[in-house]
Amino acid sequence: MSHDAAGLPEGIVGHHFSSLARQNEAMVLGMWLFLATEILLFAGLFVGYSVYRYQFPLAFAEGSRHLNLTAGTLNTVVLITSSFTVAMAIHFARTDRRIAAAVCLAITILFALAFLGIKAVEYTEHFHEHALPGKFYAFEKVMIPGAAMFYTLYFLMTGLHGLHVIAGMSVLSWILWRTLQGRYSSRYHTGIELGGLYWHLVDLVWIFLYPLLYLI
């Protein structure tokens, strides 16, 4: 066992790492690289958005006007607040306040659920209005060329983001479980930090989606 991991729970430091510090470095680097791949995954959709927005500026403006701005704004507030609570959870874990950390994580997960709930309300509205992607598009209020494309991209982008919210929630639930078990402390808190990083990415993608889809 490496010198800086003495007294920590078994199995925290892999046999192939010379020290806990080195392993933390590896884990954080790995997470950042993974986040880079996530950003490039979304990048394909952002490129598609730019191309078609350039091609159909009117339809995109009209489509955007018919989205539920209140719901979108509310969701933005919900996600930004959840990023704050997850940051607080990390802070508490670092300062050995396990219960406070767990409470903050639980609140974050509730915010994620709230986000999905609001999104579900929005999706239901679209279904009733037949504002659906591609060949299913039959939204009477916006019947100009390219409007279907706006809704296609809207569903693809928010849908992929929604999947990431679900993934993030699962990760945070698992970390909540580990927190309750007492795995994170002032000496070891890399796991919870990585979960937080991932959640910030989910938040950050939305920060870009919100103005692109709802505001401009």
Partner 1 sequence: MRLSEADSHALAGAPAAPSYLEDGTTVMSWINTRDHKRIGVMFLVGVIFFFFVGGVFALLLRFKLLQPGPFFIDAISYNRLFTLHGVVMIFLFLIPSIPAAFGNFVIPLMIGARDVAFPRLNLASFYLYVIGAVIAIWGMVHGGADTGWTFYTPYSSTSPTQVAPILLGAFVLGFSSILTGLNFIVTTHTLRAPGLNWMKLPLFVWGIYATSIIQILATPVLGISLLLVTVERIGGFGLFDPARGGDPVLFQHLFWFYSHPAVYIMVLPAMGVISETVCAFCRKNIFGYRAVAYSSIGIGFVGFFTWGHHLFVAGQSTFVGGAFGLLSMFVGIFTAIKVFNWVGTMYRGAISFKTPFAYICGFLYFLVFGGMTGIALATTSLDIHWHDTYFIVAHFHFIMVGASVMAFLAALHYWFPKMFGRTYPEGWGLVAATLIILGFNATFIPQFLLGNFGMPRRYYQYPEHFQALHVASTAGATLLAFGFLIILIYLAIALKYGERSAPNPWGSKGFEWMTASPPPTHNFDVIPTITQMPHDYRTHEPSGVIRVA
Residues that bind partner 1 (CB under 8 A): 14-18, 22-23, 25-26, 29-30, 33-34, 36-38, 40-45, 47-48, 51-52, 55-56, 133-136, 145-146, 148-149, 152-153, 155-156
CA-angle at 39, arms to 36 and 45, nearest 5°: 150
- Among the listed residues 67, 176, 196, the one whose alpha carbon sits nearest the alpha carbon of residue 121: 67
The encoded tokens of residue 99 equal 């219960």
The encoded tokens of residue 137 equal 């598009």
- The nearest distance, CB 153 to partner 1, in angstroms, is 8
Note whether 93 and 185 are within 8 A (CB). Answer: yes
- Among the listed residues 57, 216, 68, the one whose alpha carbon sits nearest the alpha carbon of residue 144: 57
- The nearest distance, CB 211 to partner 1, in angstroms, is 21
Note whether 156 and 133 are within 8 A (CB). Answer: yes
Look-up: residue for tokens 């933005």?
76
Residue closer to partner 1 (CB basis): 17 or 84: 17
- Among the listed residues 172, 159, 162, 160, the one whose alpha carbon sits nearest the alpha carbon of residue 199: 172
- The nearest distance, CB 41 to partner 1, in angstroms, is 4
- The nearest distance, CB 46 to partner 1, in angstroms, is 10
Residue closer to partner 1 (CB basis): 35 or 87: 35
- The nearest distance, CB 97 to partner 1, in angstroms, is 30
Residue closer to partner 1 (CB basis): 105 or 194: 194
Residue closer to partner 1 (CB basis): 159 or 185: 159
Residue closer to partner 1 (CB basis): 78 or 149: 149
